[in-house]
Structures are given as C-alpha cells and as structure tokens.
Amino acid sequence: MERLTRREMLRLTAGGIAAWTLGAPRWSWSAPASDPYAAARIDWRQLAGERIHILVTPAHYFTKFRAITPEFTRLTGIEVTFEVIPPREMREKAVLDLSARTGNYASHTADPMYLPLYAVNNWVEPLDLFLNDHKLTDRAWFDLEDIVPLWRRHNTVRGRLWGMPVEGEVTIHIYRKDVYDQLGLRPPETLDELRETARRAHAPARNLYGLALRGFRGAGQNMYIWPSLFRAYGGQWFDHAGRPTVNSEAGVRALEYYVSVLREFAPRGVENWNWPEIMEAFAAGTVVQYIDANSTASVIENPAKSKVAGKIGYQRWPKGPTGKRVTSIWNWAMPVNAALPARKKQATWLYIQWLASRPTQLRSATFKEAPDAVVRTGVNRMSIWRDPDYRRVIAFTPDYADVVLTSLREDTDADWRPRIPEWPEIGEVMAIAIQEALVGRKTPKQALDDANAELRRVLRR
C-alpha cells in the first residue's frame, strides 16, 4: 500500500468534507416550494420551547417518523425525544406509566384494543378536546374525515376518538404465483379451497410447505389471525345478554379448521411463529402462502431481502362458510396522556396532528431513512391511497392497492374482536386456548369450553 504524505492526507480530508457538505442537501428532504404546513390556520409556534417524550416500537414506519421529526421541531420549536422498545414491552411500559399517572410518555403507539381500558380509567384525553379547539387545530386543513374511516371507528369508544391512527394494516392472503401457475391452481375463493391449494402445493420433501399462519400465543399473535376465521365461520363473541359464546359450534369449527390446516401443511414449530418468522420463511421460499399483514409486502417484494420478489400474488381473505370474508383491523393509535400538564398536552397534540396530517404521511411514505429502507404500506389517509403517485410506489402487483383498500372497506368491522376494557385478559385466555388446541394438549372443543368458562369468570357474566 502506498503511503500518503501529510499534505495529501489533508487534501483528501478537505475534499471529503467539501463533497459531504455539498452533497448533503441532496440526501436530506428538501421542502416543496409552498410550505404545506403554512396553509394550516394555526400558530405552529405557540408552544415553542416545550419538550415531549414519546414511546414507540422499532417498526420501520416509526423509524421514518423519527427521522423526519426534526422538521417538526423546526416548524414548532417543540422538542421531541423518543424511547424505542418492542411492542409487548412497550405496551407494558405504557400501561404502567398511565396507571401510575407519572406522565413520562406524552404519547405512545397504542394498541387500539387497549383504548377502551384507557378510556374507562381516564388515562388519556379524548381527542375532540383538541380537534375542536380552533387555536390548536385547523379542521379544514387537517381533514379528519380523510383518515381511514374504519381505523377511526376502531379508535372510537363511547362516541369519542381516543387515539389518532398514524399507520395501519389489514391482513390479506399472500401466495406464490409461480407455484400456483406451475400446479395450475386458481387463487382460492373460500377457506375450503384454501385448504385444497395448501394440500396440492405441500411438498415438505422439497422443503416447501403448504400454508403458514401465526401460531405463537398472544393477544396480538394467534389472536390476531384466528378471530377472522371465527367470524368467517359465523362466530359471535357474546350472546344478547353479554355472556361469552366462543365455544359455539361456529367457534369449534373455526378452531378445528385452524388446527387441521396448520398441523397438516405448516412447517414444524409453527406454534412458536409470529409474523416475522412467517414472512422470513416465505421470503426464503419455503412457504407457499400465508395470511397476514399487507405491510409484509414491502419486505417480501424487496429483492435484497427476499428470494421470491416479483413472484407473489395478493388477494382478499377467502370466504368462510357464511360467505363472508373477514379481515383483521389494526392501526397504531396515538393518544394524549391525561397526566400531563396542559401545555404539554397541547404540544403533544400538535405533534400528533403534524404526524397524522397529509403532508407528513405522504412524505414519510417513501422516506429513505436508510439505503435499504422499505416503503410504507399503511398510510392513514384515503386521499393518499387514491393518489396515483403513491399507488405507483406500492404497485407490487397491479391490484395490490385495491386488494388492501377493498379489504379495509368491506371485509371487517370495528368490533372484529371484543372492544371492552377487559380485552387484555380475554385476549390472553383465548390465545392460550388456541395454542393448546394447536399443539394437541386439548381438542378444539375442550379448549374453547375451558376458555369460555374462564371468560365467564373473568367477566363475571
């Protein structure tokens, strides 16, 4: 290796710094000619100097949000700091903070299923307090009605909105188009046909498995997928008197379906799989199909991360015996912690408003926080979903965006899972029952009978 003289070294360093400085503006986001935030008729700087601390998960969309948050600080003078923790631990920390009323976290990425619990304890503020404050919100500019209606309904308890959707998803059927074509299979219309395609494509000797669904125990894991089957089979969570009815015939048949397809066609160990394991197995080409969040598309369609990019088909959930397709409903909801002083609450609202606004959502959708960054597939605004530019970015297949939009519009309702304060315990009881049936510790009927008795005890009904 040639030795550099000191002079050469200095020259190189200086050149490097110059190149970096000149190049920098191209990497960072450049503001459009007319500032979209200036159009809002509020004083963005009214709370300059405030500091807020927010708890988020490490998901890629929050990484993007965090990366562009300095823009918010420049706009408002409000400083935002983050704490990043995986979902399960994040939820526990949030609940501890809220229940102790310590006010550590001005806001956090809440699970909408927890909003009834938050609301009944008055741990968070109803957002209409801020939405209807003309000093804080320009309703016309913010355009609340543009935010995906189903997500808003999901975050509404007793007629009031408690958390602002900033990102969301639906579950859809994702399959290997090339394998389907090879075998002459048609995308399944019903759950029975889905089982048939799994049977036909299942080839464990070639390390290719027919189907995978979440098997890991948890209110947000197996209890995020199985409820769709339960509802598609006609299951109801409660009877007219509010007593739990998960062990109805529909429930038992839905669990039998889930257990039998996974035991026959899923890779061994699926009972410990959550969505990352499923997505990775699919990306590695060892699973023919799965039903899970549409957001996994941005990873499995990324050639750097997936062997099967470009060979994938997407469609809505197959229909159950009732003729209904039922998808899941999910969004990350941002509430305002009720334990904060008034000015911090307002500052938090300004941040939430900024984050959920159209310009921020649009910009963060394709923001590259890292060279291998993926695109957001869960923007919260209908107008962006209809925007041709955005649709081009997420056109993994010509109909991907329509599959997602139609699922969101037609295939579920806000009460897909029981939205009551006791949800954390209900979710846990059901998750255990589903997993016990899956691993064969109990029959589906036994598991659900026991779970129903347990739910009656929990709910005292």
Partner 1 sequence: MRPSRIYPSPGEGPAASAELPGAVPGGRALPRLDREARLALLLVGPSLAVLLAVSTVPLLVLLGASLFRIELTRPWVGGFVGVANYAAMLEDVRFWHSLQVTAVYTLTSVALQLLLGLAFALALSAVVRGQGLLRVAVLLPMILTPVVVGLVWRTLLLTPRYGLLDYLSILLGLGSHSWLGDPRLALGAVIVMHTWQWTPFVFLVLAAALAALPVEPYEAALVDGATPWQRFRFLTLPLLRPAIVTVVVIRLIIALRAFDAIYAATGGGPGTATEILNLYAYRVAFNSLNLGYGAALTTALLLFTLGATVVFGRVRGAVEASP
Write down how long the chain is. 461
In contact, 59 and 376? CB cutoff 8 Å? no
| 116-175 residues near partner 1, rule: CB under 8 A | 117, 120-121
Q: How far is the CB of 269 from partner 1 (least distance, A)?
A: 4
Residue 132: φ, ψ to 5° = -90, 5
Residue closer to partner 1, measured from CB, 186 or 206 = 206
Residue closer to partner 1, measured from CB, 148 or 434 = 434
Q: How far is the CB of 127 from partner 1 (least distance, A)?
A: 21
Q: Is 57 in the site for partner 1 (CB under 8 A)?
A: no
Residue closer to partner 1, measured from CB, 46 or 104 = 104
Residue closer to partner 1, measured from CB, 168 or 444 = 444
Which among 12-20, 234-242, 289-297, 433-441 is the span making contact with partner 1, rule CB under 8 A? 433-441
Task: Kindly give, in sequence order, each residue whose CB lies less than 8 Å from that of residue 89, ignoring residues fewer than 6 positions away.
Answer: none
Residue 77, Ramachandran bin (φ over 0: left; ψ between -120 and 50: alpha; else beta):
left
- If you search the block for the tokens 């991907």, which residue do you land on? 400
Which among 212-220, 239-247, 305-313, 369-377 is the span making contact with partner 1, rule CB under 8 A? 212-220
Which among 31-39, 193-201, 293-301, 427-435 is the span making contact with partner 1, rule CB under 8 A? 427-435
Q: How far is the CB of 443 from partner 1 (least distance, A)?
A: 13
Residue span 259-278 as binding mask against partner 1, x where in contact by CB under 8 A, dash where not: --------xxxxxx------
Interface with partner 1 (CB under 8 A), residue from 76, 435, 444, 451: 435
How far is it, in rounded angstroms, from Cα 404 to Cα 406? 6
Task: Kindly give, in sequence order, each residue whose CB lies less than 8 Å from that of residue 94, ignoring residues fewer than 6 positions away.
Answer: 55, 105, 108, 110
How far is it, in rounded angstroms, from Cα 251 to Cα 245? 8
List, in sequence order, the alpha helices (H) in 28-86: 60-76
Interface with partner 1 (CB under 8 A), residue from 421, 443, 446, 449: 421
Of 168, 157, 86, whose CA–CA distance to 127 is shortest? 157
Cα 196 to Cα 169, 173, 286, 333: the distances in Å are: 27, 15, 18, 38
Q: How many residues bind partner 1 (CB under 8 A)?
A: 32
| CA 111 to chain centroid | 9
Q: How far is the CB of 122 from partner 1 (least distance, A)?
A: 9
- The 10 Å CB-count burial string (b at 16+, else e) for 311-336 is bbbbbbbbbbeeebbbbbbbbbbbbb
| 76-105 residues near partner 1, rule: CB under 8 A | 92, 95-96, 99
Q: Is 248 in the site for partner 1 (CB under 8 A)?
A: no
Interface with partner 1 (CB under 8 A), residue from 71, 193, 196, 428: 428
Q: How many CB atoms lie within 10 A of CB 188?
A: 21
Interface with partner 1 (CB under 8 A), residue from 138, 178, 425, 449: 425
Residue closer to partner 1, measured from CB, 10 or 120 = 120
Which among 29-37, 42-50, 297-305, 425-433 is the span making contact with partner 1, rule CB under 8 A? 425-433
How far is it, in rounded angstroms, from Cα 374 to Cα 371? 9
- Residues lying near partner 1 in the complex (CB under 8 A) are found at 92, 95-96, 99, 117, 120-121, 215-218, 267-272, 421-425, 428, 432, 435-436, 438-442, 458
